[in-house]
Amino acid sequence: MDLGVYMNRTWNFERCITVLNDEIALLQKISLVQDSVRQTVMAREWTDFDWKMAQINQLGEEFSQLEAERAGIFTALKEKFGFEHKDEVENEPLFHNLAAKLPDDQGKKLSGVFRELKMETLKLKAQNETFAGYLNEMKIIAAAWMEAIFPSQSGKLYTRKGVQASGDLRSMVFNRSI
């Protein structure tokens, strides 16, 4: 994929819509694979786990490339309408302020697709947080069992390599890739 045009900040409405739709489709694929990972973990079927995680990582890489292209396109849109580039999120012009400057049909279409992208992102985040909650509960249960069986370990869990497992279970699937 040649990002040169977008790194040079050329605004192209059709390409912007294509990139946003590609991101939506990719998020839907990630959601399906992540659900498959969740089912694998719950069923304790570990044979495909590594392959599924590699698949999520690959989809995450693809999403990162699309996101970089989208950011370049949006920067071009900001420059087209005279918004200064700001590094801080708080100072960024709101997306809808940019879309409002486009012709009505383009602004509505762009806003609709962008809203759909945000909804897919929120659904995936909620799915991931639910899965992380499940993993945390299983960790607590496993620690309680280990405490009952091996009281000398004080409820600590260890990895296969004998290193004490981290208690931090932040977004192991979604945030690992995206």
User: How many Å separate Cα 81 from the centre of its chain?
Assistant: 29
Burial of 86 (0-12, 13-18, 19+ CB in 10 A): exposed
Query: Is the pLDDT reported for residue 38 higher than 90?
Result: no
Mean pLDDT value of segment 103-107: 90
Q: Of 57-61, 77-81, 126-130, where does mean pLDDT reach its minimum? A: 77-81
Distance from first CA to last CA of the chain, Å, rounded? 19
Kindly report the CATH number that applies to the domain delimited by 4-127.
1.20.58
Neighbour-count burial of 159, counting CB atoms closer than 10 A to its CB (0-12 exposed, 13-18 middle, 19+ buried): exposed
**146's tokens:** 């280990």
Residues ≥6 apart with Cβ < 8 Å to 100 = 107
User: Could you tell me what percent of the chain has a pLDDT over 90?
Assistant: 31
Average pLDDT, the chain: 79
Domain ranges of the chain: 4-127
Distance CA 110, CA 6 (A): 17
**How many residues are there in the chain?**
178
Q: What is the mean pLDDT of residues 151-168?
A: 69
